[in-house]
Chains A and B, each alone.
Chain A
Amino acid sequence: MKRITANEETCMGCGLCEVHCAVQHSTSGDMVKAYNKEKNRPLSRIRLEVSKPVSFAIQCRHCEHAPCVSACLSGAMTKDEETGLVIHDKDKCIGCWTCILVCPYGALRMDVSGNVVSKCDMCPGLDKPACVEGCPNGALVCKEVKP
């Protein structure tokens, strides 16, 4: 299965991954509209971690034995047996934040609504996730890993 990894040696901390992620998950899918016109400012599901000179981006790792899946109180977080992805069902999410409590990557975020969690979905439908495609430095790579 495919996973995204970040190479902190090549990351320059530009933050474009966050921009591309936010736009990809916005209503319009358009950068200008998403940031200027949409009611809810889009939230990136990838997070740039910076502590100069170190920088890298992190998002859901789609863990094999995902702590968030077993901890989820409502059944919103599930592991897709076919794709191996950790899927989050917004409609089932009750925003109890238990997944945030158990994610060692700190990769889950509160949605702008403050009512549900928001996480990486690996951009279904795209050849390459938007963050990887948009990384100007090749610091984010999407590659096949062994389960």
Chain B
Amino acid sequence: MSRYVVVGGSAAGIGAVEAIREMDPTGLITVVSEEPCPAYSRPMISDFVGGKASLQSMLCREDDFWLRKKVQLLAGTKVVSVNPAEQTIRLDNGQSIGYERLLIATGGRPFIPKMDGLGKEGVFTFTTISDAERLAERIERIRGQRAVVVGAGLIGISVTEALVKRGLRVTIVELQNSILSLLLDTKASGIVENTMRNAGVTIIAGQSVQRIVGKPDDENIVGGVVLTDGECILCDLVIIAIGVVPRTEIVSGTQVKINRGIIVDDFMQTNVPNVYASGDVAETFDFIANQNRVLPLWPLAVLEGKVAGYNMTGKKTSYMGGTNMSTLKYFGLPIVSIGIVNPEDETPFEILTKHDSKENLYKKIVLKDNLIVGIILVNDIEKAGVLHYLMKNRVNVRKFKRELISDDFGLAKLPASLRNRICLGYL
């Protein structure tokens, strides 16, 4: 019997352990992780493949994090089922563990569309360190020259950058008409596309991969992909990076309510007593969409894990919510994106933009009823946090909205009362 059981040792699991230990120095925490080396930074797996990071440098907490937090860590172990009535979980080694409070922080698994040829040697997904190790090993071994990356979202572009650094010729295939379509508008994605093309990447938008074909001399090894329009691109590697889907399977068949992800309230609690969920597996509050949804982002997962952890110890803490947000630095170009940046129907919105193509500078603020609901910043991002604060705290910007996209925007541009509230308060 463990006071706390956490399933998953990545972002949400780490956040939860930190919060639990802050409140409860002694209660037994058991963390079950199917990965052999939890507490590494998953966003850094592209740096690992690109040769910039080692496994040691990817540890995102102290080397002895689990020990320091007095966690009983079951690494390399899988949870096969949860029994909420008995408050137990069952492991793949047959063992059962009882819990008083359970956190499901199993994250997401890569989404792989159905296509022929997925079983060939040389097809990869890109979510965990094991994926990265397999890919890096393959690059070393085959001295492959050409790769096709399927999906031009955050993961697709970061793996593309890593492969380019390793000297591969990369073609990226995106179903939408532009890359990073969930984060950028056409202007900003155009800027990124130019940067990528300058780095030698071929971008094919508005297409998907229909099937993966083998090499002429060995059908079992990846030799190319066939696109929806029939074009064939020769390659040695295929990386599928379309996105992740919540790994809800350990609670399927229980009373725990699942939509796309596990449904939780503001306290990260599921509908079943003593069962919590956080991170990429859960549907959490999006303060811009004003509803719960799956938002698979590392910083949000850590925060959600913390909220779950506090509540598991009995310290009532509600989640303030997050929204779709990312910073990008692909091929050296700094970009920030938060919220609704590319509304289909612009009628209800007021949109402020500034573009300087010489400087590769672009700013876009999307307002609705004088509240900021979307932000894109390209190349001048240092004040992003101030704008993010105004957005998250629903500050009416009517009086100073022109300043939001000015070159020297900052706290001094805000009205005195607001400025003082931010500057004098400590978070």
Contacts and interface: CB of A to CB of B under 8 A. Distances in A.
B383 interface: yes
B412 A3 contact: no
Given A70-B306, A92-B57, A104 B41 contact: no
Contacts of B52: 94
Nearest to B336: A101
A106 B386 contact: yes
A96 B161 CA distance: 14
B413 interface: yes
A57 to B, nearest CB: 10
B332 interface: yes
A139 interface: no
A111 B426 CA distance: 25
Contacts of A14: none
Interface string B384-425: 111011000000000000000000101111001001001110
B44 A105 contact: no
Contact of B426 (A6, A47, A49, A64): A64
Contacts of B215: none
B74 interface: no
B43 A61 contact: no
Interface string A73-109: 1110000000000000000101111101111111111
Nearest to B59: A75
A65 B427 contact: yes
A36 interface: no
A110 B427 contact: no
Contact of A102 (B60, B299, B410): B299
A114 B332 contact: yes
Interface of B: 15, 41, 43-44, 47, 52-53, 57-61, 298-299, 302-303, 306, 325-327, 329, 332, 334, 336, 338, 381-386, 388-389, 408, 410-413, 416, 419, 422-424, 426-427
Given A56-B412, A73-B298, A74-B41, 16 more contacts: A3-B426, A5-B424, A51-B413, A56-B411, A61-B427, A65-B427, A94-B44, A94-B47, A96-B43, A104-B386, A104-B422, A105-B422, A105-B423, A106-B386, A106-B411, A145-B426
Interface pairs A-B: 6 shortest CB-CB: A75-B60, A104-B389, A49-B412, A71-B299, A103-B385, A63-B427
11 contacts: A50-B412, A64-B426, A70-B299, A75-B41, A94-B47, A97-B327, A100-B382, A101-B325, A101-B327, A106-B410, A110-B382
